[in-house]
Amino acid sequence: MLVTGASGLLGGAVARALVARGDDVRTLQRRASGVAGATDVAGSVTDPAVVTRALGDGVDGVVHLAAKVSLAGEPEEFDAVNVGGTATLLEAARRAGVPRFVQVSSPSVAHAGTSLVGVGAEPADPVGAHGDYARTKALAELLALAGDGGPAGTSVVAVRPHLVWGPGDTQLVERVIDRAARGRLPLLGHGAALIDSTYVDNAADGIVAALDRAPDVHGRAYVLTNGEPRTVADLLAGICRAAGVRPPAWRVPAGLAGAAGGAVEALWRVRPGADEPPMTRFLAEQLSTAHWFDQRATRADLRWRPAVSVDEGLDRLAAYYGGRAG
């Protein structure tokens, strides 16, 4: 098996899950994955020679997670990695006769800024998607699902894990905790929007299930979550309490946050900061609109169910931060 992007939280969890069940696992990313038992190949999915080397001989499945994930950046960078990298990997996998391919996508590919309430995997829409990340992930998903599968082809399935979090997460959890500790984490509106999230081990297991089921679900896309919607306020508070940090208590009107996000984006284009921008229009939408999903097709078709509840995940997060403090 080949896993791209295994140096990230979710990619590493997928690679470890595959190693744990006895698969021969290679990983492809710019830095070491740190996954015991996996063979690392250093490089970028945009480099055809590196991709060919990573696929090598005998790879019977690919899980593609490598991507440019950011709230800011040059559009050309998103296109080169998220679209161009996917095209390079897909072409090489099909040429090598790899039978199964999982495109790890995002629910943002079908989020045009309004609430998503109890929906399934709506069609990816690069025109309506907000932000370069969502736009290019939508293009990549459409590209991945466009090919023929079947006995002589590569079976491709797209999985969209939503809001993945867990111990060691630097993309969501660490930023929430850091900003809350500095008093810079507001609730947008009343923080009452219901949102789904996915504990990292569940997301990894769901992706492995999609890999196994790819020949039977070729060409389809699935949103993958814990299936336990919480309000934004509740989820942020749970994360903060797990790390011993005071939850956010001050509020900003959602419309004002969206306008401020637009101003920050304009400033970031001229003078980009060292970290992610504190607010963008996309982030304001994500924190103020409902987005939770019908999981019936995902669970039935992938023959998967989440093993770790949100509450158990928060307990594990608390144990992680308690251990770090100790």
Domains within the chain, CATH numbers bracketed = 2-161+200-225+294-307 (3.40.50.720)
Instruction: Encode pLDDT of 88-143 as tens digits.
Output: 999 999 999 999 999 999 999 998 777 888 999 999 999 998 889 999 999 999 99
Please, what is the average pLDDT of the chain? 88
Q: What is the pLDDT of residue 253?
A: 60
Q: What is the pLDDT of residue 123?
A: 94
Structure confidence at residue 259 (pLDDT) = 55
pLDDT at 183: 86
Compute the average pLDDT of residues 245-264.
Answer: 64
Who wins on pLDDT, 255 or 136? 136
Which residues make Cβ contacts (< 8 Å) with residue 10, sequence separation at least 6?
A: 65, 104, 161, 164, 200, 203, 204, 207
- Region 284-310: mean pLDDT is 89
User: What's the pLDDT score for residue 257?
Assistant: 47
Q: What is the pLDDT of residue 271?
A: 59
Q: Which residue has the higher pLDDT, 273 or 171?
A: 171
> What's the pLDDT tens digit per position in 195-249?
999 999 999 999 999 999 999 999 999 999 999 999 989 999 999 999 999 998 8
pLDDT band at 326 (very low <50, low <70, confident <90, very high): very low
pLDDT > 70: percent of the chain: 85
Q: Yes or no: say if 123 and 110 are a contact pair by the CB < 8 Å rule.
A: yes
Closest CA to 203 of 123, 310, 311, 300: 310
* All residues at 6 or more sequence positions from 220 whose CB lies less than 8 Å from its CB, including other chains: 121, 145, 157, 158, 301
Q: Per-residue pLDDT tens for 50-100?
A: 999 999 888 999 999 999 987 667 899 999 999 999 999 999 999 999 999
Q: How confident is the model at residue 272 (pLDDT cuts 50, 70, 90)?
A: low
Average pLDDT rounded to a whole number, residues 274-279:
56
Q: CB count, 10 Å around CB of 310?
A: 22
Q: Note the pTM of the prediction, 2 decimals.
A: 0.91
In the annotation, is 133 catalytic? yes
At residue 252, the pLDDT reads 67
* Set 133, 199, 222, 321: catalytic member: 133
158-172: per-residue pLDDT in tens?
A: 999 999 999 999 888
